[in-house]
């Protein structure tokens, strides 16, 4: 996939880093950077309610962006798209509004998976503290896969919500979300999918998958930081109360009573990240035009090449094995600290991520403090992988 020239990051003066930290954040293509500049040079105005033409142009662009996002993930309507600052805010929005709704009782259950990101653990813990609900955790099997048998035993009439990642950001393994959704719905539970590590790597169709909520971050899919989306079924979002109060989310305000706006504005209090949301749609257009099947095939080739090379290093264990993974690989060595490996790779101009990856409970369950994580994107090349593998061999030799 010959797209590297689309990304100014890779045009900087040498040495250009071999960038394999894409699960943390992605580089931005020229079209995204140009869209940011174009907005601020030609269309910078606040949206909604403005009478002048620049405000009308900004509003039209902002709402067209919402429609583009809806199309990208297969939403039934643009009104189901809530612009957020990222996956974390989207999950918090659902958890907090469920708390405020007053429909949860002590003993109701929220199910998450062991490999969840902290942003899909802590909001539910807060909900449980405030409502008396119980957080239940699906374990992993010996090969670090979602334990479907244990999950089935957990499901019951008290299950209210199942919230899981589509792809583990610490392991790179895709969860069987279609089965998870079907089984949750069989007991009347709702399902929220954390799609942060899926949105740039596989096609999403929320109606086909059948989930109830889905959240992702723009910066994982070539858009700016501080952007993201929560999608939810309109009837569910309509039934939940507002979260934040202020401008835009109101219909009318008196000191005696406030009535609230319709979707999606009910959940978008205050001035939105107008430019960021418009540019997010531009990033998604870039991905759509390249084609997610082609992106996925390219990344799969890179990951297989990476795993084959890492598997030949006896000091290293690929967590979860080499098969069935998406765009990232986490490794652990009992004799080499992940931070030391990451620092040596950086000195050799290879950028990877080290640490617990906001998955401390997962690391605790594995009896380790962290891993070294290599993650690819559509602009990475076979040469990147070969350089990273050679640097890893050299680093391990130095750390023996």
Last residue of one domain, picked from the residues 257, 289, 321: 289
DSSP 3-state assignment of 38?
Answer: helix
pLDDT tens digits along 131-143: 999 999 999 999 9
Residue pair 26/377 in contact by the 8 Å Cβ criterion:
yes
For 123, 254, 396, the CA distances from 245, given in Å and listed in that order, are 19, 14, 53
Query: 244 and 107: one domain?
Result: yes
List the structure tokens of 146.
């979602």
**In the predicted model, is pLDDT for residue 400 greater than 90?**
no
Tracing tokens 């001035």 back to the chain, one arrives at 271
Tracing tokens 């990476």 back to the chain, one arrives at 306
Last residue of one domain, picked from the residues 241, 264, 289: 289
DSSP-derived secondary structure for 89-119:
HHHHHHHHHHHHHT---TT-EEEEETT--GG
State the burial class of residue 17 (Cβ atoms within 10 Å of its Cβ: 0-12, 13-18, 19+).
middle
Query: 161 and 257: one domain?
Result: yes
pLDDT band at 324 (very low <50, low <70, confident <90, very high): confident
The residues assigned a catalytic role are: 358
Q: What is the pTM of this model?
A: 0.97
Q: In this structure, is residue 27 part of a structural domain?
A: no
**In the predicted model, is pLDDT for residue 323 greater than 90?**
no
Query: 14 and 120: one domain?
Result: no
Which residue(s) pair with 112 in the sheet?
A: 137, 163
Strands (E), 245-376: 250-253, 258-260, 317-318, 328-332, 350-351, 353-355, 371-375
Q: In this structure, is residue 26 part of a structural domain?
A: no
Of the candidates 71, 53, 58, 89, the one whose C-alpha atom is nearest the C-alpha of residue 279 is 58
Query: 154 and 250: one domain?
Result: yes
Of the candidates 87, 84, 79, the one whose C-alpha atom is nearest the C-alpha of residue 63 is 79
- What is the span of the domain harbouring residue 50? 32-289
Query: 267 and 245: one domain?
Result: yes
Q: In this structure, is residue 218 part of a structural domain?
A: yes
Helix, strand, coil proportions of the chain in percent (round to 5)? 45, 20, 40
The Cα–Cα gap between 398 and 400 comes to: 6
For 6, 8, 65, 281, the CA distances from 28, given in Å and listed in that order, are 9, 8, 18, 13
- Kind of pairing between the strands at 159-165 and 109-113: parallel
The Cα–Cα gap between 268 and 281 comes to: 17
Number of domains in the chain: 2
Query: 310 and 265: one domain?
Result: no
The Cα–Cα gap between 6 and 336 comes to: 37
Q: In this structure, is residue 228 part of a structural domain?
A: yes
Please report the pLDDT score of residue 321 as a whole number. 87
Last residue of one domain, picked from the residues 239, 271, 289: 289
**In the predicted model, is pLDDT for residue 188 greater than 90?**
yes
- State the average pLDDT over residues 192-213: 98
Q: In this structure, is residue 25 part of a structural domain?
A: no
**In the predicted model, is pLDDT for residue 52 greater than 90?**
yes
pLDDT tens digits along 281-297: 999 999 999 999 999 99
Please report the pLDDT score of residue 134 as a whole number. 98
Query: 319 and 373: one domain?
Result: yes
Give the percent of the chain with pLDDT over 90: 96
Query: 299 and 268: one domain?
Result: no
Query: 242 and 304: one domain?
Result: no
Query: 257 and 378: one domain?
Result: no
On average, the pLDDT of the chain sits at 96
Query: DSSP code of 247?
Result: S
């Amino acid at each position: 996939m010959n797209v590297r020239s689309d990304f100014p990051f890779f045009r900087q003066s040498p040495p250009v880093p071999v960038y394999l930290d894409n699960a943390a954040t992605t580089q931005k293509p020229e079209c995204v950077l140009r869209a940011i500049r174009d907005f601020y040079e030609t269309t910078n105005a606040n949206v909604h309610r403005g009478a002048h033409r620049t405000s009308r142009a900004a509003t039209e662009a902002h709402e067209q962006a919402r429609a583009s996002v809806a199309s990208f993930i297969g939403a039934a309507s643009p009104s189901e798209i809530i612009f957020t600052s990222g996956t974390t805010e989207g999950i918090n929005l659902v958890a907090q509004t469920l708390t405020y709704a007053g429909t949860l009782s002590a003993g109701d259950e929220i199910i998450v998976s062991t490999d969840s990101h902290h942003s899909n653990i802590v909001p539910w813990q807060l909900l449980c503290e405030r409502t008396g609900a119980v957080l239940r955790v699906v374990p992993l099997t010996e090969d670090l896969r979602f334990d479907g048998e244990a999950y089935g035993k957990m499901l019951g009439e008290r299950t209210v919500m199942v919230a899981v990642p589509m792809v583990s950001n610490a392991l790179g393994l895709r969860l069987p979300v279609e089965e998870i959704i079907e089984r949750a719905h069989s007991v009347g539970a709702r399902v929220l999918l954390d799609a942060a590590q899926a949105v740039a790597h596989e096609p999403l169709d929320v109606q086909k998958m059948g989930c109830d909520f889905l959240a992702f971050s723009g910066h994982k899919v070539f858009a700016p930081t501080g952007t993201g989306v929560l999608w939810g079924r309109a009837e569910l979002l309509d039934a939940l109360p507002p979260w934040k109060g202020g401008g835009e989310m109101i219909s009318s305000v008196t000191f005696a009573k406030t009535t609230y706006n319709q979707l999606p504005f009910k959940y978008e209090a205050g001035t939105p990240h107008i430019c960021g949301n418009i540019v997010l749609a531009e990033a998604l257009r870039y991905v759509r035009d390249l084609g997610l099947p082609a992106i996925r095939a390219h990344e799969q080739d890179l990951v297989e090449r990476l795993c084959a090379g890492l598997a030949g290093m006896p000091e290293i264990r690929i967590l979860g094995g080499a098969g069935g993974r998406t765009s990232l690989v986490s490794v652990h060595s009992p004799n080499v600290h992940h931070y030391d490996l990451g620092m040596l790779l950086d000195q050799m101009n290879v950028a990877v991520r080290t640490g617990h990856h906001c998955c401390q409970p997962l690391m605790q369950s594995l009896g380790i403090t962290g891993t070294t994580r290599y993650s690819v994107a559509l602009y990475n090349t076979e040469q990147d992988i070969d350089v990273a593998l050679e640097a890893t061999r050299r680093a391990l030799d130095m750390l023996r």
